Amino acid sequence: MSTGCHPPRGQISAPSAVESTLPIPPGSSTTQPVGATGLQVPSSTSVARDHSRSPTPVSRVALAQSSSSDSSEPPAKEARVAGPADGNLNDPISPQAEGGPQPLALLAKTADDLKTWTARVRSAIPYDLVTDRRPVLIAPSIQVAGEALYFLVHWLFDHADDDNVSPDLREYRFTRALDERFNSQLSANSPFRVECTMTSLLRLIKHCDTWNLTVGGAVGEGVTRNLLRQTIQVAVQVPDLWQTRGSYSTIQFLPADLAFLRLLSPEDVTTLLPWISHNKSTSTPIDLTSNVAALLMAADIDPTWVSTSASRIIQTELHLVSHTLFGLKDIYQEQDFIAFRQGMTSVLTTPGNTLDMIFFAQARNYLAAMYNRRLENVDVLLQHIEFRSSLNAETVATEMQYSDGDQVSEACWDIHYEHLVEEKFKRYLRGSGHPDHWFIRSMVSEDEFNAARNDSLLRARSFLQLMTGSDLVPSGNEWKIIIFMHHKGKRESFVSPDGQGPGDPARLHIHACFAHGDLIVDEGLRNLLIEPSSAEGKEPLLFDSWLHAAVMDPNDFNSI
């Protein structure tokens, strides 16, 4: 069966290398602006650890609290009580300072936990047969798609309180803003135009698995995972979305929907309505007949102290909300709030609690499990790769047993080469770094080659990206990467009499939207498969170089 091994002649095409990024780790707490003008209430949020930058606070009303000289306390009849730790509200609350439990530990979540949580969230979203259409996003690249999705979400937050605007006018305004942002320099027929339908945040969540997403002609789950990660990366690079809290940068929430606040507490919204409707860009009226001045004075705030600076407006809103809800200007000294905080902290740190019992601040654990899905073990990938063929090994073996003569059938040869394909694939994926072959060396710089020399996951992650459109492991346990094997050409004696090799193998044909691939087992590939390897399996093979050339640019979606 041995016919000798001859290296293929000619070039093996391969594009550029793949990029990889890390997701954002969640955790921590801060304050959340509410209402049309950004009123502040305590809220849980997530943080991104980053020592390399110090985001600046937003210029409009948001949740960042300034430490500048104009952020002093508003004059009142009594001195304001200091914060719970050291009087600085910018510092995180420390449970240990009050003798409370230790901070909540990060608990691992299983695929079933994620499914249950996802189903609960999506099932709680109301369905509207008339307006509940799937969101549509079409973009020329994953980078542009990420910017477009971020633009959509940010626009929805900025226009959350357009209650008096008709749906048609709202959609027209969004489409015009989208075109100004992405399509102003493009012709109507340009393939680089961005299309995005006006939708809602609820529909984005409800249809996250089925929305109409096309990126550079590519579709599928891998593209969706790449888009979500790219959108997060876009948000991370926007300084106005972040504020510094100690060594962390934490997100700044946009204002919540005023209609939602009215549903929660209509009386309090009515009380705060003079401030909500007040134009913060103008000076605060000090006339005693002014509703705004009366509200401020009722909360022990001197109207003459309030200015148009963002820091003072934020401080004023914190005082107003605290006074309206608790009768005190400092909620951190309100006994009911302290008891609530201590009780929640105690419950949340109890081992074994799940989201189904109550939300228990477990959202960060689910987010960590969903978004931190980098491939960390080659065996996980191998367990989900399935090789398929139209041949049945048992049937072929039975036919050979009862056949006459020593002639080996094509089906028997095909089964043999299919076994070699699986062995070579596993050997390649378990290897480290770039294959040390002259062809790969000509494509990779010396520094890049040396940096990846001991990277045992480089090949596996690149192959996962090639086959699924993302280097993130799909959620759940049912996902499969399927390689369909097709046979053609001579099964033996495929080396020409003059000693020339059979030529380059056909390129691996990928359907990333389905995680499928078509592998043509032709004379060129058979020539690579029969190349012998040592028992250690460390020397580079021609098969490794051929396959690596394909995975070095896993984003081209070459057959979609």
CB of 481 within 8 A of CB of 386? yes
Neighbours of 163 (CB within 10 A): 9
> φ, ψ for residue 87 (rounded to 5)?
90, -5
Q: Give dist(CA 255, CA 227) in Å, integer.
A: 25
CB of 46 within 8 A of CB of 27? yes
Question: Per-block average pLDDT, block size 10, for the chain (560 residues)?
Answer: 35 31 33 35 34 33 33 40 35 39 52 73 66 81 93 87 80 92 89 89 79 84 84 85 71 57 76 84 77 86 83 81 75 75 70 51 59 82 92 74 68 88 93 89 89 91 88 81 90 67 83 86 89 72 89 53
Q: Give dist(CA 294, CA 35) in Å, integer.
A: 20
The pLDDT of residue 304 is 84
Q: Give dist(CA 486, CA 495) in Å, integer.
A: 20
The pLDDT of residue 438 is 86
User: The whole model's pTM is what?
Assistant: 0.46
Residue 97: closest CA among 330, 318, 332, 325: 332
Residues paired with residue 29 on neighbouring β-strands, in sequence order: 44
The pLDDT of residue 490 is 82
The pLDDT of residue 125 is 74
Helix H or strand E encompassing 446: helix 446-451
310-326 and 266-276 helices, crossing angle to 10°: 150
Neighbours of 232 (CB within 10 A): 17
The pLDDT of residue 256 is 53
